[in-house]
């Protein structure tokens, strides 16, 4: 324990904590970061520059006093001037040079990121703008299995055949292949490999995410990888053709994976093998049968060993064994689906529902191949080094155990990277392990800290935009958290574990004396007590490591996922089981699958026991209603900086830093607390101002409008939605936009009508936000949406309330939201024509009119009602469709601005050209999400509406 306390005292604050080149590395990182997040990057650059200057000034020796010799012939004035010049030079050397180096590092990082950024601002080909399918031909560059039976295939050297000409496309293309063709009886997909050529017919679209302020942009993620285009297919349609031979390395890996899948999937002689597992056949025959798992039975009649059974009872037992065998088939997110994920990074067989469960339990990271899995390989190398030293103790005289562990771990880590397909996350983790190994080999201290800096620096030199990859951010932040906070938390955790074990030992000794145990019983009690002590210490260390990582990553997790999980302590049980049981047995099963299928199946079945318990427990927790996300406010970057500053200063202050730094640490803690509270206080001050905001969110082809009123009163009208499996608009788009710097609460949620593109994105906010009221137009949603709505009502207790014309939904300090349509006796109007029409009014003056999906029939009925429709902002009916074009509506509303929620290159070409022409004719500017992304309208007091868009308006 003492060495951890000493480690916590070792790094001094200021420059002694980081080496000079590491401060320059931070400036390089800040330069890269400044291309997209300038304000946080400037803050980091200034902080790094200041600390580097402080280190440089403290390291410079004080100049010697300059005195003139008594018999010097030089004038006194010249002697004085030379003394000042010397002092100036002595001061400039430790200040100007470091300042110049930091400025160069920031500029170099900025320039490297700009040069690496792909320019996607060129004109679109005519067939893309025309939404016409073309024949796409390209070379496979990478294949990434995705959730729910999908493959994401990166194509390079892409050409498009329009029938009239062949057009080359700049950049790469991502082809999402949903439910690839099934081959054989194994349920295994035919997969193309790198180097092969594919040809298919489909519509081509540019990669583009949902452009809302403060949210993740998936389009930018793909562009960072050089991918500018995307296509989507399902099954073997679209005239798909695959030709050529994949790379040899890919073939070797696919051969190993296919051999393993032959064990996991049902085969022709599965009954034969499982009969032996049930004790019905000969072991030698079972080995032969297992080795021929794809060739079928060796008997001519194909009955195998079951033909020799004496009665039907044996066949029944074989049937039971067959069912046991079939549990190894990866399907529908069952436990067997984790085997390809752990061995090959292949999540093809995992479902969205299962991954959502694992995410809610905070253990989903364990199935994404990363540094944790390579850590198991490195730990295995350490165990081999210990075993070698135990067998040949003299070996340590030639090679210390840490260096021997590096030698043993290197091939294991490299082999696992090959198995995982060399994914970027594995390559980055392997680079970190290589850096740590080199530092250990050279007997360097501070392995964790220096190693992660070297690795991230090398990665950013190769690809500067990799710094924006969330996986790299989380892995680097996890290691930094361990280096900073584990030395402080670990001694406390170990002391608590020793105290608990000491109390237990004292109780056991007292019980042993009272019962006059035998010597053998006493030794057994001592052994159990020692084992319990080791288990407690191990659990304490794992708890301290888990808490260290959770503390360090909390702001990033909240910002990117806007949820927290109360089940993160489940990692204390699951990660040791995964590292010491599941993963090693899976690797053993993989090795046996090459030459003995039945033995491999036994290894896999043993590995899946704890996985089955985990999945069963998660199912039970979900059914009980305990496995739910806790939606939180996404923090401002100032709050994140203040949190980390406060946390780091506290760690050093309570970790025993030298007394000369105590004043600086107290100042850092105070500054961190101020930064942490600055953004919330600013939000409260802004909320008290007389400001009304209407934000049209970019939810693709759909509509979602957020109205923000003074005192943080917010109203959400519609939520968009696609109805696509695995993509929840409310969770992925609406919730991150609503929780950016704001708490998850809504005064009112309104659904204009129950079409999927208006309703589905509301389910998640209704379920997990604090919602005061939910209003609808009274129409029934589709069967699937109705079922989800009932789940929301049951889970959140928010019941829909039907409203109609004449109702007032919100009224406060002169602001009111009133319903203008439909009338209570609406008759048999269609769902679109019965949509809610809402008008936001301030002191009798119309601010905004939201028209839902009204078409001509409903618009004419609204105009005939004689209600006041005037408003400064008009949200166009039905996304600007031609079927909703009624010029008299614009005369009645007299809007200054028109808005429309539209999808980028949507199939219906909304907003229609006829609507655009009419708006131009009447001099009304149009802003829509397909062209501008998120659109925000702000009213300050009685002033005119001010427009801001995510993308600059042309």
Q: What is the pLDDT of residues 135-173, one digit of tens each?
A: 999 999 999 999 888 999 999 999 999 988 999 999 999
* Cα–Cα nearest to 884, from 903, 866, 908, 848: 908
pLDDT attached to residue 82: 52
Cα separation, 277 vs 596, whole angstroms? 13
Provide the pLDDT confidence category of residue 189 given band limits of 50, 70 and 90.
low
pLDDT attached to residue 516: 47
pLDDT attached to residue 651: 83
Angle between the N-to-C axes of helices 583-592 and 597-623, in degrees from 0 to 180, rounded to the nearest 10? 150
User: What confidence tens digit (pLDDT) does each residue in 46-69 have?
Assistant: 888 888 777 776 655 444 444 444
pLDDT attached to residue 315: 38
Q: Please give the residue that has the higher pLDDT: either 848 or 545.
A: 848
User: What confidence tens digit (pLDDT) does each residue in 382-392 have?
Assistant: 888 889 888 88
Could you tell me the two tokens for 838?
């809402």
Average pLDDT (647-664) is: 75
User: To 10 degrees, the CA torsion angle through 616, 621, 623, 627?
Assistant: -130
Q: Which of 316-330, 422-436, 878-892 has the highest mean pLDDT?
A: 878-892
**DSSP state string for 191-217:** ---TT-EEEEEE--EE------TTS--
pLDDT attached to residue 283: 36
pLDDT attached to residue 504: 54
Provide the pLDDT confidence category of residue 521 given band limits of 50, 70 and 90.
low
Q: Please give the residue that has the higher pLDDT: either 614 or 9.
A: 614
Q: How far apart are the first and last CA of the chain?
A: 64
Q: Residue 366: pLDDT above 80?
A: yes
Count other C-beta atoms under 10 Å from residue 96's C-beta. 13
pLDDT attached to residue 36: 93
Q: Residue 324: pLDDT above 80?
A: no
**DSSP state string for 832-880:** TTT--EEEEEETTEEEEEE-TT--HHHHHHHHHTT-----SEEE-GGGG
Count other C-beta atoms under 10 Å from residue 19's C-beta. 15
Cα separation, 716 vs 710, whole angstroms? 15
pLDDT attached to residue 292: 36
Q: Residue 78: pLDDT above 50?
A: no
Contacts of 66 (CB under 8 A, 6+ apart): 79, 82, 83, 86, 87
Q: Residue 447: pLDDT above 90?
A: no
Q: Please give the residue that has the higher pLDDT: either 827 or 611.
A: 611
Share the mean pLDDT of the chain. 83
Contacts of 894 (CB under 8 A, 6+ apart): 870, 871
Cα separation, 525 vs 586, whole angstroms? 35
User: What confidence tens digit (pLDDT) does each residue in 571-593 have?
Assistant: 888 999 999 999 999 999 999 99
CATH architecture of 126-246: Beta Barrel (2.40)
With pLDDT > 90 as the criterion, what percentage of the chain qualifies? Answer: 48
pLDDT attached to residue 810: 93
Q: Residue 247: pLDDT above 60?
A: yes
User: What confidence tens digit (pLDDT) does each residue in 305-322 have?
Assistant: 333 333 444 334 333 333
pLDDT attached to residue 402: 86
Provide the pLDDT confidence category of residue 74 given band limits of 50, 70 and 90.
low
Q: Residue 175: pLDDT above 90?
A: yes
Q: Which of 17-31, 104-118, 511-525 has the highest mean pLDDT?
A: 104-118
- The H-assigned helical ranges of 624-769 are 637-653, 662-687, 729, 735-738, 756-759, 763-768
Provide the pLDDT confidence category of residue 734 given band limits of 50, 70 and 90.
very high
Cα separation, 122 vs 102, whole angstroms? 35
Instruction: Count CA atoms closer than 13 A to 685's CA, side-chain side.
Output: 6
Cα separation, 342 vs 643, whole angstroms? 34
pLDDT attached to residue 396: 83
pLDDT attached to residue 457: 93
pLDDT attached to residue 322: 36
Contacts of 320 (CB under 8 A, 6+ apart): 278
- Asked if 369 and 345 count as a contact pair (C-beta separation under 8 A), the reply is yes
CATH class of 688-949: alpha beta
With pLDDT > 70 as the criterion, what percentage of the chain qualifies? Answer: 83
Helix and strand numbers, DSSP H then E, in the chain: 33, 29
Q: Residue 6: pLDDT above 50?
A: no
Provide the pLDDT confidence category of residue 654 given band limits of 50, 70 and 90.
confident
User: What confidence tens digit (pLDDT) does each residue in 251-273 have?
Assistant: 999 899 988 988 887 433 333 33
Average pLDDT (118-139) is: 89
User: What confidence tens digit (pLDDT) does each residue in 679-688 have?
Assistant: 888 888 888 8
Q: Residue 226: pLDDT above 80?
A: yes
In the chain, where are the structural domains located? Answer: 2-116, 126-246, 254-335, 352-595+611-631, 637-683, 688-949
Domains 126-246 and 688-949 fall in the same CATH topology: no
Could you tell me the two tokens for 536?
């407690």
Cα separation, 210 vs 934, whole angstroms? 8
Provide the pLDDT confidence category of residue 699 given band limits of 50, 70 and 90.
very high
* Cα–Cα nearest to 543, from 490, 479, 478, 488: 490
Q: Residue 15: pLDDT above 90?
A: no
Lowest mean pLDDT among 89-93, 287-291, 890-894: 287-291
Cα separation, 74 vs 84, whole angstroms? 15
Q: Is 690 helix (H, G, I), strand (E, B) or coil?
A: coil
Provide the pLDDT confidence category of residue 187 given band limits of 50, 70 and 90.
very low
Task: Give the β-pairing of 808-812 and 815-821.
Answer: antiparallel
Q: Residue 73: pLDDT above 70?
A: no
Average pLDDT (203-212) is: 94
User: What confidence tens digit (pLDDT) does each residue in 27-53 have?
Assistant: 999 999 999 999 999 998 888 888 877
Q: Residue 935: pLDDT above 90?
A: yes
Average pLDDT (684-699) is: 92
């Amino acid at each position: 324990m003492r060495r951890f306390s000493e480690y916590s005292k070792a790094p001094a604050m200021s420059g002694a904590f980081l080496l000079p080149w590491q401060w320059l590395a931070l400036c390089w990182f800040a330069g890269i970061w400044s291309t997209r997040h300038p304000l946080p990057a400037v803050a980091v650059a200034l902080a790094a520059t200041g600390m580097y200057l402080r280190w440089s000034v403290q390291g410079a020796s004080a100049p010697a006093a300059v005195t003139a010799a008594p018999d010097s012939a030089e004038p006194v004035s010249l002697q004085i001037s030379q003394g000042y010049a010397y002092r100036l030079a002595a001061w400039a050397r430790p200040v100007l040079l470091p300042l110049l180096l930091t400025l160069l590092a920031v500029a170099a990082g900025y320039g490297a990121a700009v040069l690496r950024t792909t320019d996607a601002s060129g004109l679109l080909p005519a067939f893309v703008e025309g939404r016409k399918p073309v024949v796409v031909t390209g070379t496979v560059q990478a294949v990434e299995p995705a959730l729910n039976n999908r493959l994401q295939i990166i194509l390079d050297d892409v050409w498009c055949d329009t029938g009239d000409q062949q057009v080359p496309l700049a950049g790469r293309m991502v082809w999402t292949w949903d439910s690839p063709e099934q081959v054989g009886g194994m349920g295994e997909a035919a997969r193309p490999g790198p180097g092969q050529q594919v040809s298919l017919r489909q519509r081509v679209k540019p990669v583009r995410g949902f452009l809302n302020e403060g949210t993740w942009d998936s389009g930018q993620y793909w562009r960072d990888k050089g991918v500018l285009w995307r296509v989507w297919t399902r099954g073997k349609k679209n005239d798909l053709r695959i030709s050529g031979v994949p790379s040899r390395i890919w073939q070797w890996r696919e051969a190993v994976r296919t051999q393993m899948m032959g064990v996991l999937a049902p085969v022709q002689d599965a009954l034969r093998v499982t009969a032996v597992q049930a004790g019905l056949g000969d072991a030698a025959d079972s080995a032969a049968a297992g080795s021929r798992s794809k060739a079928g039975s060796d008997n001519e009649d194909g009955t195998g060993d079951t033909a020799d059974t004496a009665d039907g009872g044996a066949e029944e037992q074989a049937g039971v064994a067959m069912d046991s065998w079939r549990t190894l088939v990866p399907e529908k997110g069952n436990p067997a689906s984790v085997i390809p994920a752990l061995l090959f990074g292949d999540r093809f067989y995992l479902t969205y529902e299962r991954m959502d469960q694992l995410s809610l339990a905070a253990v989903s990271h364990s199935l994404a191949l990363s540094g944790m899995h390579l850590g198991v390989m490195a730990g295995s190398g350490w165990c081999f080094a210990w075993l070698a030293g135990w067998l040949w103790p003299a070996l340590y005289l030639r090679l210390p155990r840490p260096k021997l562990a590096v030698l043993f771990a290197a091939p294991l880590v490299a082999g696992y990277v090959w198995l995982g397909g060399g994914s970027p996350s594995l390559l980055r983790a392997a680079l970190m392990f290589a850096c740590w190994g080199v530092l250990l080999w050279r007997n360097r201290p501070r392995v964790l800290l220096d190693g992660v800096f070297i690795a991230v620096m090398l990665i950013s030199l190769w690809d500067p935009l990799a710094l924006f990859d969330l996986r790299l951010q989380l892995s680097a932040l996890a290691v930094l958290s361990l280096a900073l906070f584990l030395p402080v938390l670990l001694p406390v955790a170990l002391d608590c574990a020793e105290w608990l074990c000491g109390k237990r030992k004292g109780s056991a000794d007292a019980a042993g004396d009272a019962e006059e145990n035998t010597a053998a019983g006493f030794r057994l009690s001592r052994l159990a007590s020692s084992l319990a002590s080791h288990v407690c210490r191990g659990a304490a260390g794992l708890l301290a490591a888990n808490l260290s990582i959770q503390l360090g990553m909390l702001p990033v997790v909240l910002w990117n996922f806007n949820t927290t999980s109360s089940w993160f302590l489940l990692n204390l049980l699951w990660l040791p089981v995964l590292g010491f049981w599941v993963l090693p047995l899976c690797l053993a099963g993989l090795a046996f699958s090459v030459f003995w299928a039945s033995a491999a199946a036994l290894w896999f079945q043993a590995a899946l026991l704890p996985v089955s318990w985990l999945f069963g427990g998660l199912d039970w927790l979900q059914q009980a209603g305990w496995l739910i996300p806790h939606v939180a406010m996404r923090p401002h970057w100032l709050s994140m900086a203040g949190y980390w500053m406060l946390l780091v200063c506290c760690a050093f202050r309570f970790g025993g830093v030298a007394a000369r730094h105590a004043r600086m640490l107290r100042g850092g803690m105070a500054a961190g607390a101020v930064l942490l509270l600055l953004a919330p206080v600013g939000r409260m001050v802004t909320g008290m101002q007389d400001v009304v905001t209407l934000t049209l969110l970019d939810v693709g082809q759909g509509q979602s409008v957020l109205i923000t009123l003074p005192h943080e009163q917010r109203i959400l009208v519609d939520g968009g939605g696609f109805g696509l499996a695995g993509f929840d608009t409310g969770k992925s788009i609406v919730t991150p936009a609503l929780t950016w710097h704001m708490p998850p609460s809504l005064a009112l949620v309104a659904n204009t009508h129950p079409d999927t593109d208006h309703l589905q994105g509301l389910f998640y906010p209704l379920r997990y936000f604090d919602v005061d009221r939910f209003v609808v137009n009274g129409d029934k949603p589709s069967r699937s949406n109705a079922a989800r709505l009932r789940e929301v009502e049951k889970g959140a207790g928010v019941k829909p309330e039907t409203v109609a014309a004449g109702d007032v939904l919100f009224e406060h300090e002169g602001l009111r939201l009133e319903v203008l349509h439909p009338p209570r006796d609406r008759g048999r109007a269609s769902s679109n024509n019965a949509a809610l029409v809402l008008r936001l009014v301030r002191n009798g003056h119309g601010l905004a009119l939201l028209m839902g999906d009204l078409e001509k029939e409903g618009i004419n009925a609204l105009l005939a009602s004689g209600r006041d429709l005037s408003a400064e902002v008009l949200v166009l009916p039905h996304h600007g469709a031609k079927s909703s074009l009624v010029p008299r509506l614009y005369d009645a509303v007299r809007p200054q601005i028109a808005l429309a929620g539209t999808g980028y290159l949507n199939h219906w070409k909304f907003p229609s050209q006829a609507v655009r022409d009419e708006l131009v004719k009447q001099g009304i500017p149009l802003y829509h999400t397909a062209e501008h992304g998120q659109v925000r309208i702000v009213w300050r007091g009685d002033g005119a509406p001010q427009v801001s868009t995510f993308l600059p308006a042309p």
